[in-house]
Amino acid sequence: MSEPLLKVEELRTHFFTDDGVVRAVDGVSYEIRPGETLAVVGESGSGKSVTALSILRLVPEPPGKIVSGRILFKGKNLLDLSPAEMRRVRGKEISMIFQEPMTSLNPVYTCGEQIIETVALHEGLDRRAARERAIEMLRTVRIPAPEQRIDEYPHQMSGGMRQRVMIAMALACRPSILIADEPTTALDVTIQAQILELLKQLQREFGMAVLLITHDLGVVAETADRVAVMYAGQVVEYCDVASAFKRTLHPYTAGLKASLPRLGVRHERLRVIPGNVPNPVRFPPGCRFHPRCPVAQDRCRTDPPLQAFGSDHLSRCWRAEEIAAGALDPVPGEEARRA
């Protein structure tokens, strides 16, 4: 197995607000190997985006602060870099694309201008060479007639086109990791599929790793190699994509899975996980999921460790062993319903 390209170790990012300390990221570890796709899944407020922003050290400070942990990129700790060194990593080594294609391009510049700026910044190309590169990148992201569209303004493009431009910007300097923060959430379903397909193709072409942040298990199933499920600032399950769907070892993951709508089943209420994401200022003691967990026990009021089951499958649940052995159905009634 190859060395991890990026390794997040026990990362803690907290926000110090007037209401108390928000432990948005509380001891998160995961790693990405070259060329692989890691999907980070979780509800809103589970800390998945903050973890990604922490990798790029873009957490707004104050009130946010990376309290402890290490982020090893190609063996060096990004948290030790100076701001200037960090800027050379952003966009050049690790790039990021965002959720909202409507607002992620600056309305006052042409699309080309924004790609050119990035290329000129990191690679020191002169304007003409940078423009050539920008056209080439637009072609790479399958934008038709890139020579013309390079001079268009964002408001002249559709959401899907803008997301392609955003991807072109992010990839213009051939980063080795692309962080995609819910890249398709704001797009309609057909465009979503196109963008995901494009990302997959580009990943193969460029040989880059992708950190995909999403709350959509469907997207995970289609694109990811490995999955990290986050809940309340912690990774609760961490495994390869097949295990996440076939051998779920955490009731939360199982709950997410159960809440997916199923094709061909009519007149059925969508299943939901009862309750809400806990208040991040006062997480419940012990397992943070236990107040919502259908199979919680007294033991769950104490902190469960992130245990390994088999090679490369981690779960933060006291009852994971029982689930692994098939002795416990993490979502009671679900198996019967599926059958």
Partner 1 sequence: MTERALAEREDVEPVEAAQGLPPQSPWRLFWRQFRRSQLGVAGSVLLAIFYTLALFAPFVAPYSQEEMDRQRFFHPPHRLHWVDRGRFHLLPFIYPTRLEDPGNLTYREDRSRIVPVRFFVRGAPYRLLGLIPSRRHWIGVDPPERLFLLGADSFGRDVFSRLLFGAQISLTVGLVGIAISFTIGLLLGGISGYFGGWIDTVTMRATELLLSIPGLYLIIALRGIFPTDLPSQQVYLAIVAILAFIAWAGLARIVRGMVLSIRQAEYVAAAEALGMSRLRVISRHILPNTMSFVIVAATISVPGYILGEVVLSFLGVGVQEPAASWGNMLNQARSLRVLSSFPWLLYVPGAAIFLTVMAFNLLGDGLRDALDPRRVMGGKTG
Give the neighbor-by-neighbor strand order of the sheet with 64-73: 20-32, 6-17, 64-73, 76-77
Residues in the chain: 339
Shorter beta-carbon distance to partner 1: residue 60 or 326 = 60
Parallel, antiparallel or unpaired: strands 94-97 and 307-308: unpaired
Taking CB under 8 A as the rule, which mask of x and - marks residues 230-249 in contact with partner 1? Answer: --------------------
Among 3, 151, 197, 205, binds partner 1 (CB under 8 A): 151
Query: How far is residue 248's CA from residue 22's CA, in Å, rounded to a whole number?
Result: 29
Q: What's the N-to-C CA distance of the chain in angstroms?
A: 37
Among 17, 77, 106, 259, binds partner 1 (CB under 8 A): 106
Shorter beta-carbon distance to partner 1: residue 120 or 254 = 120
The site for partner 1, by CB under 8 A, has a size of 37
Query: How far is residue 78's CA from residue 56's CA, in Å, rounded to a whole number?
Result: 8
Cite the beta strand spans of 175-331 per DSSP E: 177-181, 209-214, 226-231, 234-240, 307-308, 314-315
Among 104, 192, 223, 253, binds partner 1 (CB under 8 A): 104
Query: How far is residue 246's CA from residue 320's CA, in Å, rounded to a whole number?
Result: 14
Q: Is 89 in the site for partner 1 (CB under 8 A)?
A: yes
DSSP state of 105: S
Among 128, 155, 266, 269, binds partner 1 (CB under 8 A): 155
Q: Is 81 in the site for partner 1 (CB under 8 A)?
A: no
Query: How far is residue 294's CA from residue 167's CA, in Å, rounded to a whole number?
Result: 41
Shorter beta-carbon distance to partner 1: residue 77 or 148 = 148
CA-closest candidate to residue 60, choices 24, 84, 96: 24
Q: Is 100 in the site for partner 1 (CB under 8 A)?
A: yes
Q: Is 339 in the site for partner 1 (CB under 8 A)?
A: no
User: Which position has the token pair 């997959």?
Assistant: 200
Shorter beta-carbon distance to partner 1: residue 182 or 237 = 182
Q: Is 37 in the site for partner 1 (CB under 8 A)?
A: no
Stretch that binds partner 1, among 67-75, 148-156, 275-283, 296-304 (CB under 8 A): 148-156
Q: Is 122 in the site for partner 1 (CB under 8 A)?
A: yes
Give yes or no for a contact between 21 and 14, defined as CB atoms under 8 angstroms apart: yes
Among 17, 68, 77, 103, binds partner 1 (CB under 8 A): 103
Phi and psi at residue 169, to the nearest 5°: -60, -45
Shortest distance, CB of residue 48 to partner 1, whole angstroms? 15
Shortest distance, CB of residue 56 to partner 1, whole angstroms? 6
Residues that bind partner 1 (CB under 8 A): 56, 58, 62, 87-92, 95-100, 103-110, 117-118, 121-122, 148, 151-153, 155-156, 166, 169-170, 179
